[in-house]
Chain A
Amino acid sequence: MDLTLKVWRQKNREDKGGLETYKVTGILGHYSFLEMLDVMNEQLITQGKDPVAFDHDCREGICGTCSLYINGEAHGPDRKVTTCQLHMRMFNDGETIYIEPWRSAAMPVIKDLIVDRSSFDRIQQSGGFVSVNTSGNTQDANALPIPKMNADKAFDVAACIGCGACVATCKNSSAMLFVAAKVSQYAYLPQGQVERKQRVLNMVEQMDKEGFGNCTNTGACEIECPKGISIEYIAKMNREYLSASISSEE
């Protein structure tokens, strides 16, 4: 199939940026979206032009590196996939595709389609862990049974890949689905109990500091989340936060 691509080009953080138009031809349905971009970049390099910079790494939907806002949707038109798992069979011959970076003040564009997601790292650093040393002298792994339901729920939220689609798709640029996933994971596990209250307070504080917006329950994030994490966990985080705020020891 032959396609027209409208791609966001931006030289660096300071540049204003804008859309450029490129044509690609001979794309087959089994190409992944990123392989289609590879073809475009090969063409650009051969023509002596600067290729389009985009983030990508594992290309199997787990590392969370790839992003891309495609035709107005985070990770494109397919559901529960990342851009690297999106295949060209989802598009039609002759179609025009708009490709933009994530847009959020807390995730500024570095170049072209690449954004700076270090705000996510800083939120995790503010409390997304259990304070246990790696001494190797922890108790036996089976000393503390965990009800299967809790373990499964903890897993469901731990599946978050930190890609940022939730932020990109949210009209408020809210990171609450991302933060809720981590807060909930530890809240469901006995190992997370000791720091439970302080964790949610710290992580929410950092989230606000980074400039992410708040949740107004539009639910776009859970639709675009490649790992299908439900907004019910945002409710859980709100509950954790409220309970920590009114009952915190300090």
Chain B
Amino acid sequence: MSVLDSKIPDGPLKDKWTNHKNHINLVNPANKRNIDIIVVGTGLAGGSAAASLAEMGYNVKSFCYQDSPRRAHSIAAQGGINAAKNYQNDGDSVYRLFYDTVKGGDYRSREANVHRLSEVSGNIIDQCVAQGVPFGRDYGGLLDNRSFGGVLVSRTFYAKGQTGQQLLLGAYSALNRQIAKGKVTMYNRHEMVELVKVEGKARGIIARNLETGELERHSAHAVVIASGGYGNVFFLSTNAMGSNATAAWKIHKKGAHFANPCYTQIHPTCIPRSGDHQSKLTLMSESLRNDGRIWVPKNMEDVLAIREGKLMPIDLSEEQRDYYLERMYPAFGNLVPRDVASRAAKERCDAGYGVNKTGEAVYLDFASAIQRYGKQEAAIARIKSPSVDEILKLGEAVIESKYGNLFQMYEKIVAENPYKTPMMIYPAVHYTMGGVWVDYNLMTSVEGCYCIGEANFSDHGSNRLGASALMQGLADGYFVLPYTIGDYLSKEISTGAIANDSAEFIQAEREVSDRIEKLMNIKGTKTVDHFHKLLGKVMWEYVGMARNEEGLKRAMKEIKKIRTDFWNDVKIPGDKNSFNPELGKAGRVADFLELGELFAKDALHRNESCGGHFREESVELDGEQKGEAKRNDEDYAYVAAWEYKGEPADAILHKEELEFKDIELKQRSYK
């Protein structure tokens, strides 16, 4: 086991980033024109990075598997983006955002990275407004804020329930501007299938043109991976169908350590599963918890009556309802962090109080918010003693203006009107905090290979706070990587163009084509989805919201077996030299089948509960926190970075000890 060098700059926490920027090596504009950079992925991190690097003068090649960079899954983020602007004058500051993020991450993130994130958060909002992102505003024309789980201030900027879409379209517009200038060459419907290393440095990729099936060699002086998270290892998640870990996994197999794979966020407010043919789960923004109250019936007979359709939730009086988050966590109530809210829902449903047929659903109720807003609006409109109907109408209008698109989405999927009856929700896999290990400069353990956004591990520890993913993606892409990559590229100014016909490129391409050949030749009996679903089932069962030693050992064994079966019995139709979506999917699932095992291995080794990682063996046994997750700082306050050694089970652990100089490690209490 070795110790990893995270290259965190010296000096006081608040000066680290400024000092680092002041002393980092720069590349002069004339030399930038001779340097090529590959960026894989066009979400918030990749899109903003490609645009910024091109603006600075580098030649950028940008890749996405979708038909347009605008479709990257950042687009589906709903609720908002955090920034320490303190526009609401509620005591927010860079320090508080930093503190909340470290605490929310259950003290498993890198202090220096998080502080830097907080420092640049305000810039992101300025930048996006300048690009024409239509954030929500108040009647004075100034930016509005909402509040999110795990914090006591309102620092979340939003564009209705489509914040991710608007921010991504902002980054896409910046990218388009550079494409038009010829500074970015865009490769749509291209998937990175291999990293090419020359003399130990990342020098390019092999990409597959998804329309023609052709393999292409692309060379560059540096490679940036911004391919998002690996939540689809669970098959059912809120990720897009195409979201995958292939780029991240390929660089892992070429020497990039993979950190904390077991840190996965299970989001509390998703639409419950309806049946076996479901292809994905749909998230409802956490912002709904601002106004929605979560409950299940107090009495079991009511639960059963509701499941049988004999009783409607609105028929239950206040006394018959258990607002369990408000009961268990009076200080934060419905706004506890995501991991806490998810586990509480699971606890209630496991105890038998789930309110739908599958027994896996709780209510999210807007009735009291509608009443509250209705009365407030009536007062503003100077309606004396408003009728019940008037209050309802006015209240519903306010809720509509805040969450209209979410309510519409819910109604379309579930075929129930959430203005009239409470929504049903249940936790689902949403975001992966773990990812490729990077140093302070966002470079992986492969020289010249960088990793940004959700694909890396650095900022969210073991649990991400709401509205922080968009912040990190854009921070990495607009304001961090464009600086830090210069430090490395300043040594590349006399390298000259990288040839793509070297032995390394030829070898890498051959490996890819052999792998594809092998997949096509299996000619088995089961579809790719069949194996993906099997994997997902094992992951959810044993590596889901609660994990234990026995289950994790079993998961590792089963995943290995599914992987063996996959390579013996998968059936891929069509041919490799045409548009073949099944072949693309097969390559991704093959990688998930390896990643899943490492995921379970990491969860097994971390015998503590922290953030999204809950080990049943590690809970508080008594006192006020009884039953809550128990962290073990003495033994586990480190980043677990795994080195690839053939089989996932043989991966070697490297530790990066986490130092907390500015924050006292405490048990998270939201009571």
Whether both chains belong to one complex is answered with yes
The reply to whether A117 and B68 form a contact with Cβ atoms under 8 Å apart is yes
A128 cross-chain contacts in B, Cβ below 8 A: 173, 176
A and B contact pairs by CB, cutoff 8 A, 19 listed: A30-B274, A38-B277, A38-B529, A57-B242, A58-B75, A58-B76, A62-B75, A65-B71, A111-B211, A116-B67, A117-B67, A120-B68, A121-B179, A126-B180, A129-B131, A129-B174, A141-B85, A141-B126, A141-B128
Residue A247 interfacial (CB < 8 Å): no
Stretch at the interface among B7-15, B197-205, B571-579, B646-654: B571-579
Nearest Cβ on chain A to B571's Cβ, whole angstroms = 6
Residue A130 interfacial (CB < 8 Å): yes
B409 cross-chain contacts in A, Cβ below 8 A: 60-61, 85
Q: Mark A118-145, 1 if CB is under 8 A from B, else 0.
A: 1011001110111111101011111011
Which residues in chain B, 102-150, are within 8 Å of chain A measured between CB atoms?
120, 123, 125-132, 134-143
Docked pose: A35 CA to B279 CA in angstroms: 6
Docked pose: A139 CA to B166 CA in angstroms: 20
Q: How many residues of A contact B (CB 8 A)?
A: 78
The reply to whether A62 and B274 form a contact with Cβ atoms under 8 Å apart is no
The reply to whether A65 and B67 form a contact with Cβ atoms under 8 Å apart is yes
Q: A30-B275, A65-B67 are in contact. Are A148 and B180 (CB under 8 A)?
A: no
Stretch at the interface among B48-56, B463-471, B492-500, B630-638: B48-56
Residue B568 interfacial (CB < 8 Å): no
Residue A178 interfacial (CB < 8 Å): no
Docked pose: A61 CA to B284 CA in angstroms: 13
Q: A139-B130, A151-B141 are in contact. Are A39 and B277 (CB under 8 A)?
A: yes
Residue A96 interfacial (CB < 8 Å): no
Residue B282 interfacial (CB < 8 Å): yes
Nearest Cβ on chain B to A14's Cβ, whole angstroms = 12
B440 cross-chain contacts in A, Cβ below 8 A: none
Q: Mark A28-39, 1 if CB is under 8 A from B, else 0.
A: 101110110011
Stretch at the interface among B157-165, B252-260, B655-663: B157-165
Q: Mark B65-101, 1 if CB is under 8 A from A, else 0.
A: 0111111010110000000010100000000000000
Q: Which residue of A lies closest to B125 (CB)?
A: A141
Residue A155 interfacial (CB < 8 Å): yes
Q: Which residue of B lies closest to A38 (CB)?
A: B279
Stretch at the interface among A183-191, A211-219, A231-239: A183-191
A185 cross-chain contacts in B, Cβ below 8 A: 132, 134
Q: Mark A147-185, 1 if CB is under 8 A from B, else 0.
A: 110011011001101100000000000000000000001
Docked pose: A128 CA to B179 CA in angstroms: 12
Measuring CB to CB, which residues of chain B are less than 8 angstroms from any residue of chain A? 48, 51-52, 55, 66-71, 73, 75-76, 85, 87, 120, 123, 125-132, 134-143, 159-160, 162, 165-166, 169, 172-174, 176-177, 179-180, 186, 188, 211, 238, 240-242, 274-275, 277-280, 282-283, 408-409, 412-413, 415, 478-479, 482, 527, 529, 571, 573-574, 578-579, 581-582
Nearest Cβ on chain B to A144's Cβ, whole angstroms = 8
Docked pose: A38 CA to B280 CA in angstroms: 12
A145 cross-chain contacts in B, Cβ below 8 A: 137, 140-142
A80 cross-chain contacts in B, Cβ below 8 A: 408
Docked pose: A140 CA to B557 CA in angstroms: 54
Known: A121-B188, A141-B129, A142-B85. 12 other contacts (CB 8 A): A12-B578, A35-B277, A64-B70, A65-B67, A121-B186, A129-B174, A130-B130, A134-B478, A136-B123, A138-B127, A141-B126, A189-B132
Contact of A134 among B159, B174, B527 (CB under 8 A): B174
Q: Which residue of B lies closest to A32 (CB)?
A: B279
Docked pose: A55 CA to B52 CA in angstroms: 30
Residue A49 interfacial (CB < 8 Å): yes
Which residues in chain A, 21-56, are within 8 Å of chain B measured between CB atoms?
28, 30-32, 34-35, 38-39, 42, 44-46, 48-51, 53, 55-56
Q: Which residue of B lies closest to A81 (CB)?
A: B412
Q: A42-B529, A85-B412, A142-B143 are in contact. Are A56 and B241 (CB under 8 A)?
A: yes
Number of A-B residue pairs, CB cutoff 8 Å, is 215
The reply to whether A132 and B67 form a contact with Cβ atoms under 8 Å apart is no
The reply to whether A111 and B578 form a contact with Cβ atoms under 8 Å apart is yes
Docked pose: A11 CA to B579 CA in angstroms: 9
Docked pose: A226 CA to B249 CA in angstroms: 36
Q: A42-B527, A63-B71, A65-B71 are in contact. Are A151 and B134 (CB under 8 A)?
A: yes
Nearest Cβ on chain A to B516's Cβ, whole angstroms = 17
Q: Which residue of B lies closest to A147 (CB)?
A: B141
The reply to whether A129 and B173 form a contact with Cβ atoms under 8 Å apart is yes
The reply to whether A87 and B173 form a contact with Cβ atoms under 8 Å apart is no
Docked pose: A46 CA to B571 CA in angstroms: 8
B159 cross-chain contacts in A, Cβ below 8 A: 155, 158
The reply to whether A158 and B166 form a contact with Cβ atoms under 8 Å apart is yes
The reply to whether A136 and B479 form a contact with Cβ atoms under 8 Å apart is yes
The reply to whether A125 and B180 form a contact with Cβ atoms under 8 Å apart is yes
B279 cross-chain contacts in A, Cβ below 8 A: 32, 34-35, 38, 59
The reply to whether B177 and A131 form a contact with Cβ atoms under 8 Å apart is yes
The reply to whether A130 and B132 form a contact with Cβ atoms under 8 Å apart is yes
Nearest Cβ on chain B to A116's Cβ, whole angstroms = 8
Contact of A87 among B66, B125, B165, B413 (CB under 8 A): B413
Residue A3 interfacial (CB < 8 Å): no
Docked pose: A154 CA to B176 CA in angstroms: 20
The reply to whether A57 and B240 form a contact with Cβ atoms under 8 Å apart is yes
The reply to whether A155 and B415 form a contact with Cβ atoms under 8 Å apart is no
The reply to whether B143 and A141 form a contact with Cβ atoms under 8 Å apart is yes
The reply to whether B174 and A63 form a contact with Cβ atoms under 8 Å apart is no
The reply to whether A59 and B126 form a contact with Cβ atoms under 8 Å apart is no
The reply to whether A146 and B240 form a contact with Cβ atoms under 8 Å apart is no
B75 cross-chain contacts in A, Cβ below 8 A: 58, 62-63
Contact of B165 among A30, A57, A62, A134 (CB under 8 A): A62
Residue A93 interfacial (CB < 8 Å): no
The reply to whether B130 and A191 form a contact with Cβ atoms under 8 Å apart is yes
The reply to whether B413 and A148 form a contact with Cβ atoms under 8 Å apart is no
Q: A45-B527, A62-B75 are in contact. Are A154 and B87 (CB under 8 A)?
A: no
Residue A210 interfacial (CB < 8 Å): no
The reply to whether A151 and B137 form a contact with Cβ atoms under 8 Å apart is yes
Residue A78 interfacial (CB < 8 Å): yes
Docked pose: A117 CA to B578 CA in angstroms: 19
A44 cross-chain contacts in B, Cβ below 8 A: 573
Docked pose: A107 CA to B277 CA in angstroms: 31
The reply to whether B76 and A191 form a contact with Cβ atoms under 8 Å apart is no
Docked pose: A92 CA to B165 CA in angstroms: 34
Q: A50-B574, A57-B66, A117-B67 are in contact. Are A139 and B241 (CB under 8 A)?
A: no
The reply to whether A134 and B51 form a contact with Cβ atoms under 8 Å apart is yes
Docked pose: A81 CA to B409 CA in angstroms: 9
Nearest Cβ on chain A to B531's Cβ, whole angstroms = 13
A192 cross-chain contacts in B, Cβ below 8 A: 132
A147 cross-chain contacts in B, Cβ below 8 A: 141
The reply to whether B141 and A146 form a contact with Cβ atoms under 8 Å apart is yes
Residue A223 interfacial (CB < 8 Å): no
Q: A141-B85, A162-B70 are in contact. Are A134 and B134 (CB under 8 A)?
A: no
The reply to whether B126 and A136 form a contact with Cβ atoms under 8 Å apart is yes
Q: Which residue of A lies closest to B408 (CB)?
A: A80
Residue A209 interfacial (CB < 8 Å): no
- Centre residue among B51, B71, B126, B578 by max chain A CB count within 10 A: B71
A186 cross-chain contacts in B, Cβ below 8 A: 132
The reply to whether B162 and A136 form a contact with Cβ atoms under 8 Å apart is no
Docked pose: A145 CA to B415 CA in angstroms: 40
Docked pose: A117 CA to B69 CA in angstroms: 12
Residue A110 interfacial (CB < 8 Å): yes
A78 cross-chain contacts in B, Cβ below 8 A: 412
The reply to whether A51 and B573 form a contact with Cβ atoms under 8 Å apart is yes
Docked pose: A189 CA to B574 CA in angstroms: 49
The reply to whether B240 and A63 form a contact with Cβ atoms under 8 Å apart is yes
B180 cross-chain contacts in A, Cβ below 8 A: 125-126
Nearest Cβ on chain A to B74's Cβ, whole angstroms = 10
